[in-house]
Amino acid sequence: MNIKAALSWIALVALMTTARTATAEVTIVFTFFDVTTATGRGFDDPVLGAERRAALEAVGAEIGGRIGQTATIEIGVAPSETDGTGPIGVGAATFLDTTPGVRDGEVYRRIVLGEPDTDAGLDAGIVFDFGYDVSLSGTPAPGVACFRDVARHELTHVLGYGSFIKADGTGFNETAPDMYTRFDAMLETDSGDGEGLPVIDSDGNLLLDASTFAAAHGIGLVFDGTASRAANSGLPIKTFGSDPTHSAAMSDVMFPSPAVGTMRADWTDKDVAILKDLGYDIVDATTTPIDMTTTGDCGACGAAGTPALGALTLGLFAMRRTTRPRRRPR
């Protein structure tokens, strides 16, 4: 089963599950489909399954405890991949309204906007590929990825850190106007001096002509907000080349490759700043992030035999419409 099929599969069984819970300011309820369907692999592996579930729940509890708002969200963990050929992880929020404009996923709507849960399905989905060598706790050995780093990255996508903007400027539906994320609404062209041009408007219109957009997208857009500038010496935060869903800074949790041979202990100031600009109330951490620019081994990320998140251009929204039973757009 490929990643997209695994995520789509969640919709077929979303109402026939049991769940385990990681409780904090935001309570994250994980439904492990490996367990509920007895796959015998991944999170149901007879040797490592329980430890893998505990590791994901620990990251969920950590993230929930960092968010000042109060809500309960439900995340489906799709049947695990084990072939080690695709992304090591994919996380996606559910979007019930895909009409043109700036839209919010169910996780954001529940936590930041404080709106009630009016749908019987899942708020988000996530899937992992255990065909890669990962460490479940502590600092990994050289060449080994940190599972908790991957989990933290994907759960941050679930919160709303991610873009629908494609290389041609269209969004979710590949139309004009189109549906984009709140994150997209805060992206600008990189002018070098912090005074870029906005990319889209609230109605889902692309604000740049084709040549201007192509050039800006190619060199990488920037995320602009008050907290982001405060965390980045007065400048917007640079995204990763032509992949605005990720950060350009190797030290950030939202860099598109996982930590290899080391670990990112927590969100960096820039990770936190973007979440704050999106509307999250983030409280102080109790751990100190590791500086990947000096202690990391990300030069090997994406090389043969090592996992990569760089392929996750659509990581946040890979499930598209299939995460939950569809309802009419509100």
pLDDT digits (tens, 9 = 90+) for 25-38: 899 999 999 999 99
Query: Could you tell me the residue range of the domain that residue 216 belongs to?
Result: 3-322
Mean pLDDT (whole number) for 116-139: 94
What is residue 286's predicted lDDT score, i.e. its pLDDT? 64
- What is the reported pLDDT for 294? 31
Number of separate domains in the chain = 1
| Residue 186, pLDDT above cutoff 60 | yes
Residue whose C-alpha is closest to residue 188's, from 229, 216, 154: 216
Check whether 167 has a pLDDT greater than 60. Answer: yes
pLDDT in tens, 1-12: 554 454 454 444
Q: Is 250 part of any domain?
A: yes
Check pLDDT > 50 for residue 21. no
* 120 within domain boundaries: yes
Across residues 240-269, what is the average pLDDT? 94
pLDDT of residue 192: 84
**Looking at the domain assignment, is residue 39 inside a domain?**
yes
Q: Which residue has the tokens 């979710």?
A: 172
Residue 247's nearest CA partner among 269, 216, 263, 280 is 269
Answer with the residue of higher pLDDT: 316 or 243. Answer: 243
80 domain residue, yes or no: yes
Highest mean pLDDT (candidates 39-53, 248-262, 312-326): 39-53
User: What confidence category does residue 282 fall into, taking pLDDT thresholds of 50, 70 and 90?
Assistant: very high
Query: Does residue 41 fall inside a structural domain?
Result: yes
Q: Rounded to two decimals, what is the model's pTM?
A: 0.84
What mean pLDDT is predicted for residues 302-325?
Answer: 34
Angstrom CA distances, 314 to 82, 125, 172, stand at: 21, 13, 10
Q: In terms of pLDDT, which residue wins out, 208 or 6?
A: 208
pLDDT category, 79, cuts 50, 70, 90?
Answer: very high
Whether 328 maps to a domain, the answer reads no
Q: Specify the higher pLDDT residue, 324 or 2.
A: 2
- Let me know if residue 327 belongs to a domain: no
239, β-bridge pairs: 247
Tokens 């030069």 found at: 299
- Does some domain include residue 124? yes
Task: Tell me: cis bond preceding 100? Omega within 30 of 0 counts.
Answer: no
**C-alpha dihedral over 129, 134, 136, 140, to 10 degrees?**
-160
